[in-house]
Amino acid sequence: MAKPKKNKAVAYLWILATLPLVGYAAYLTLIPSMPSADWAPKSLTIPKGASVAAIARILSQDRVIDHPRAFVATVKILGLSGSLKAGRYRFPMPVSIFQAIRILRQGAVAYHKVTIPEGMTMGRIAGLLQQQAGIDSAGFLEACHNPEKLSRLGIPAKNFEGYLYPDTYDFEWNTPPHLALEAMVKNFQSHFDSTWLVELKRRGLSRHQAVIMASLVEREAQVDSERVLIASVFYNRLKLRRPLESCATIEYVLPRHKNTKLTYRDLEIDSPYNTYRRLGLPPGPISNPGRASLEASVYPAKTDYLYFVSRGDGGHIFSRTLQEHIRAKSLCQRLKGR
């Protein structure tokens, strides 16, 4: 009868010896990651087929968790190795290991990174959202023309063209279109500096007029340093009551299938956006401009330029007179012919 008592004693001693280790493991599992100066949510991607160890490494590298070994041990002890889902995640910080595991098992917070380039139209943005985040493109365009939403978000226009801020966004798959729209418009509002409004008021311009001008600059400029120069040309022509003669406004209203160079016949198109035939700014933005073009529309360069012509390498030659412009066009044609 002495032998069972001895085995019991050994078992008790083993339990007592491992209790601190178990307690420490539980502590690591339940306690959130170490304090940080920035508790902003963290977004990361778990690739398909990633092992538990690889997932732990990704979480640790992005400082979502501090103890990758404890994460691996917990997943394996709980038998959850096959239940962690791949995808794009946003972790509300801080999180414990248990919380991180629960999020990865649910897969309900998967996000998809969508980058909206500068100069895109809302139609092309709708297609990009559909393709990369499963957001209904028709529903998005319908929201873009919603008068109630325009009024609520303070946009004095017939649609949200020009106010969909180019940036990289994280959207859940199949995000409701109106929520994606609101995220982009609010991003625009946060980037439109309040000091710009003061400058526009001084110059007798509205924010909407500046956005229209910025959309032209965005479509015409390819070199950052030329944005302020292109804006100055358009403002100078407005001041002198000359047509803007922007090819970009013609391209905006042409059928999508037309990918050839503009013809003289195209310049005769009957549209309020035809800045060859009509004076003043077009009735609305023709693209969604980025910050650099918006700033150029508020603070254009002070020049006497009235013309610019593409050199064919992304840059332009700027001219003050029609004679200078004709010579510049001739030079550019020779350069392009090389």
Residues 100 and 130 placed together within one structural domain of the fold: no
**For residue 314, is it within any domain?**
no
**For residue 331, is it within any domain?**
no
Task: Determine the average pLDDT of the residues in 25-43.
Answer: 57
Q: What is the CATH number of the domain that holds 48?
A: 3.30.1490.480
| pLDDT computed for residue 312 by the predictor | 85
| pLDDT computed for residue 113 by the predictor | 85
| pLDDT computed for residue 38 by the predictor | 54
Residues 143 and 97 placed together within one structural domain of the fold: no
Task: Determine the average pLDDT of the residues in 61-71.
Answer: 92
**For residue 53, is it within any domain?**
yes
Q: Of 80, 106, 132, at which residue does a domain stop?
A: 106
**For residue 4, is it within any domain?**
no
The whole domain housing 289 covers 205-305
Residues 262 and 209 placed together within one structural domain of the fold: yes
| Two structure tokens written together for 277 | 């035939």
Q: What average pLDDT is seen over the chain?
A: 88
| pLDDT, tens digit, 9 for 90 and up, residues 195-247 | 999 999 999 999 999 999 999 999 999 999 999 999 999 999 999 999 999 99
Q: Of 137, 165, 191, at which residue does a domain stop?
A: 191
**For residue 160, is it within any domain?**
yes
Residues 267 and 288 placed together within one structural domain of the fold: yes
Q: What is the CATH number of the domain that holds 128?
A: 3.30.1490
| pLDDT computed for residue 35 by the predictor | 47
Between these two residues, 337 and 185, which has the higher pLDDT value? 185
Q: What's this model's pTM, rounded to 2 decimal places? A: 0.73
**For residue 3, is it within any domain?**
no
- Do 318 and 307 form a contact (C-beta atoms < 8 A)? yes
**For residue 323, is it within any domain?**
no
| 287: pLDDT strictly greater than 70 | yes
| 21: pLDDT strictly greater than 60 | no
| 34: pLDDT strictly greater than 80 | no
Q: How far apart are CA 197 and CA 47, in angstroms?
A: 45
**For residue 92, is it within any domain?**
yes
Total domain count, the chain: 3
Residues 6+ apart with CB under 8 A from 33: 63, 64, 65, 66, 93, 94, 95, 96
Angle, in degrees to the nearest 10, between helices 2-30 and 68-77: 120
| 19: pLDDT strictly greater than 90 | no
Residues 160 and 220 placed together within one structural domain of the fold: no
